[in-house]
Structure 1
């Protein structure tokens, strides 16, 4: 077999002098879930509905005989019976079983739909209209394309050479043959075409898709190594220089929803060039904050391999740990006749609910908690808001919108980012409200987005679907008001008239002081 070196970088194909077996091929025309290794494609079994009469159908078996074989029965009655029950046709030794019972058609339709739902979490989704309307700032990579959606854009071409360098170092550091690594990636990529939007990959042949995945996976592996303790010191200086110089841009690009690679493909490279994934995730799960927060409430980090299952891609992996899990069972709330789904900072202050940063960095920990009999806190994870973190939040929210059709029926964690962004947006109506978030240490740091930019960013996301934790928080606020109606009214009166009350108290104190002075003078005389 002639060496197939078409996937090698640049002109090195011309120098290839080693045998390459094509490990896997696509069976065009079959759905992706029915792809097989090329050596195994020798027969198939199809099912379809063929009505034998207007009232029902029968099983008709097409068994290998001869391509032009026909039933030859002189008895018309027996011929009709045979036609109803069995028809033997040789189609190049392929056995076709055609079931004509109508229920099979419905069962297959239901099964196909369920399979599509099960794959929803693993797919590489396109942006929903709500997110796409935000523009290219959060939806188009600026430095590197991962996967086929943005591959070939002119401004991303320089990074393609860096991918070849990353692949070279993955191969060299693995100590394994090039072909062995490439075959492993090709095997892992088998079936992943169906995870992408069909229209987007319709014009991308397998000769382009598989090499693309190989180089992209090597690039991601080398980037992940830069986020570990030992990785940078072991890395080639030129490659490390690229990652250091473009760190924010690369991180923003590889965490965009449409710029993803199936995680199983990345894992195929990591079998040869291992990455301490737990250390990588631990280094990034607090990436929404600049400052070290009080993490006394957080347990030591352990990679939750059993609870999460197979990650869909890098964005999905990071979102899972940035959101976190809420293991505490939330108490049931009393029934409320009416609920408002919006409340301002001023309204919260009037009823004695102060804003406070949560003790952990995980986004799932949000809500109202009582602080004594007169006050409560609305706590949210702290955030250092800049362009890179804003992009990450947008793309994590987009992932939630695409993978969770109904937030109402899903776990709170499945809509936590949308809930978090909606709560922040609910609180801020003016630049002064953003300043209040900074004063309360929910927004950290002086750099990043200005108050005006933060306000515009959060306002642009108010069209997100209501997450379950957002709804729960609004119910908690309403319940707090309802159960402490008298106290909240008194607190609101005091809050609104605080200056007048303080002035009156000062005046009374002054009068009392003057009266006391006069009395003392009178006693002296």
Structure 2
């Protein structure tokens, strides 16, 4: 009986404990459910926050054409990407070391307005024209421009008018006081400023949209100047001496240009012989030997008066247009290359491909010396500096589409033929002057006579002996 009571008590006690456990479990489930509910609310809030940050319209990334230089391209080359004298556009606006040119920009705008007469009305039309395209202009920049509408439009107007006025002054009479130039114009009184400005205007970070220039050019055009050069003519005239643009077609489609650097690139491409079948993936080509090695394989190098990018190879002759390299040449090349790497609409990386070919051809100062002797490479820099320049020209860049596969295939095919090397060795070692040629001919004749004499001796030895006239003892 006692045992039974104990057992019953134990059972009852266990049931009571079981009830507590069930209650605790229920509380845990409620707590978990409450926690899940709170997590869901937090997730919804976070998702809503992310959604608000997303663009409401189609992305403007495809319209970006003026970029900040990515860090990977900037390393060790900072000086070729930043302006030394003048800021154009918002990226470098207000930098302390560029403020001196702000006064000159303001003075150029004043000169332009003074020629037009009604300054207030003219300036108002400039602002109105640029304000109407403000969104388009902002979308051109790869980095968000944190400026008020007034500040942004002011930069576009002042910088755009400065560029147009500079181009017009440059193309007019060189005599101070005539045309658009003033006697005390510091830009034209100090010749170094023209060159410095030229390369600053071709920096990728130092651009304003071409549409801004076109708008201001039309608004500032004199009504009676029907024969005034077009905007593209003014641009070509300013840049052609320093970039060999005089070799390229004068008629460039302005409407397709995005900014000055893009316009110059189109000029360079405009003189090339375009062949879509010659564009290949970066992995679908092989590097070519350097100039010295090709020379040893019998390749001849000739200068041709053609578009800079038109390097050709036919029948063992490589034709290369003149290559001008100066202290500022690296700046133009690198900015064009980085622009091709950043611009989504650029399908054919022609400038980058050109840099790759030059890097293949030029390894040492010996290669530079050969090209200078042929009149292909024009420079006053040292041969070592030039070789180093081309070896580092396209660091960290990859031509997504290589444009010289046909050229590299022909060169490699010629180079790997042994006959071409032997022929070159003979010409170099035995036919480099008349006496060597005569000596080689004499040696060849002597070798031939010796061979004939030896052949007759062997034949005479092996010929059967006649028994006629022979008597046994």
TM-score computed with the length of structure 2 as normaliser: 0.69
Look up the match of 1:242. Answer: 187
Provide closer, same or farther for how the CA distance between residues 276 and 237 of structure 1 changes in structure 2, counting only shifts above 3 A: same
C-alpha displacement of 1:134: 4.0
Q: Distance in 1 between matches of 2:199 and 2:267?
A: 17
How do 1:266-345 residues align onto structure 2 when only pairs under 5 Å count? 266-274=213-221, 276-284=230-238, 286-288=240-242, 301-305=250-254, 309-327=255-273, 329=275, 340-345=286-291
The alignment's TM-score, normalised by the length of structure 1, stands at 0.63
Is 2:252–2:266's contact at 8 Å kept on the other side of the alignment?
no
Q: What does the per-residue CA deviation read over 1:266-304, in whole Å, with 9 as the maximum and x for residues that have no partner?
A: 222212223632422442564456798xx6xx76x2233
Distance 1:158 1:285 in 2: 23
Where does structure 2 lack aligned partners over 5 or more consecutive residues?
A: 1-50, 222-228, 447-473
Deviation at 1:504, TM superposition (A): 6.1
Alignment of 1:437-476 (within 5 A): 437-444=371-378, 446-447=379-380, 449-463=381-395, 464-466=397-399, 467-476=401-410
Alignment of 1:141-180 (within 5 A): 141-176=83-118, 177=121, 178-180=123-125
Give the superposed CA RMSD. 3.4
Task: Indicate yes or no: 2:351 matched with 1:417.
Answer: yes
Q: What is the CA deviation profile of residues 145-199 of structure 1, one whole-angstrom value per residue up to 9, with x for unaligned ones?
A: 0011111111101000011111112222234422222222222334322322335
Equivalent residues in 2 for 1:474-489, closer than 5 Å: 474-480=408-414, 488-489=417-418
Q: Is the 8 A contact 2:430 2:440 kept in 1?
A: no
Corresponding residue for residue 324 of structure 2: 384
Shift in alpha-carbon separation, 1:453–1:303, aligned structure 2, 3 A: same
* 1:112 alignment partner in structure 2: 58
> CA contact under 8 A between 1:226 and 1:240: conserved in structure 2?
no
Q: Shift of residue 323 of structure 1? A: 2.7
Residue 402 of structure 1 is matched in structure 2 by 342
Seen in structure 2, the aligned counterparts of structure 1 residues 326 and 468 have a Cα distance that, compared at 3 Å, is: same
> Is the 8 Å Cα contact of residues 169 and 179 (structure 2) preserved in structure 1?
no
Q: Go from structure 1 to structure 2 and tell me whether the alpha carbon gap of 1:240 and 1:324 turns closer, same or farther (over 3 Å shift).
A: farther
Indicate whether 1:223 and 2:166 are aligned.
yes
Q: CA deviation at 1:340?
A: 2.7
Aligned residue pair count: 372
Per-residue CA distance 1:400-431 (angstroms, 9 max, x = gap): 111147x7xx3xxx422112222111111111
Label 1:442 to 1:453 Cα distance change in 2 as closer, same or farther (>3 A): same
Matches of 1:234 and 1:473, distance apart in 2 = 48
* Residue number among 333, 352, 362 corresponding to 1:393 in the alignment: 333
The worse-fitting range, judged by mean Cα deviation, of 351-360 and 160-169 is: 351-360
2:312 maps to 1:367? yes
Question: Does the CA-based 8 Å contact 2:198-2:239 persist in structure 1?
Answer: no
Q: Which moved more, 1:260-269 or 1:245-254?
A: 260-269
Q: 1:227 to 1:198 in 2, by over 3 A?
A: same
User: Which residue number in structure 2 is paired with residue 198 of structure 1?
Assistant: 143
Q: Offset at 1:465?
A: 1.6
Contact 2:352 2:394 (C-alpha < 8 Å) held by counterparts: no
Change (3 A) 1:208 1:109: closer
Name the residue aligned to 2:155.
Answer: 212
2:67 matched to 1:125?
yes
More helix, by proportion: 2
Check whether the contact 1:435–1:451 (CA below 8 A) recurs between aligned residues. Answer: yes
Give structure 1 stretches of 5+ with no counterpart: 1-104, 515-525
Residues 1:195 and 1:254: Cα distance change in structure 2 (over 3 Å):
same
Contact 1:132 1:139 in 2 (8 A): yes
Residues 246-282 of structure 1 deviation map (CA, whole Å, 9 limit, x = unaligned): 0011011010000001111122221222363242244
| Counterpart-to-counterpart distance in 1, 2:376 and 2:107 | 41
Query: Contact between 2:278 and 2:403, CA under 8 Å: does it hold in 1?
Result: no
**What is the deviation of 1:312?**
1.1
CA deviations on 1:48-107 (whole Å, 9 max, x unpaired) are xxxxxxxxxxxxxxxxxxxxxxxxxxxxxxxxxxxxxxxxxxxxxxxxxxxxxxxxx9xx
d(CA) in 2 for partners of 1:214, 1:236? 20
- Within the candidate set 414, 419, 433, 2:367 is matched to 433
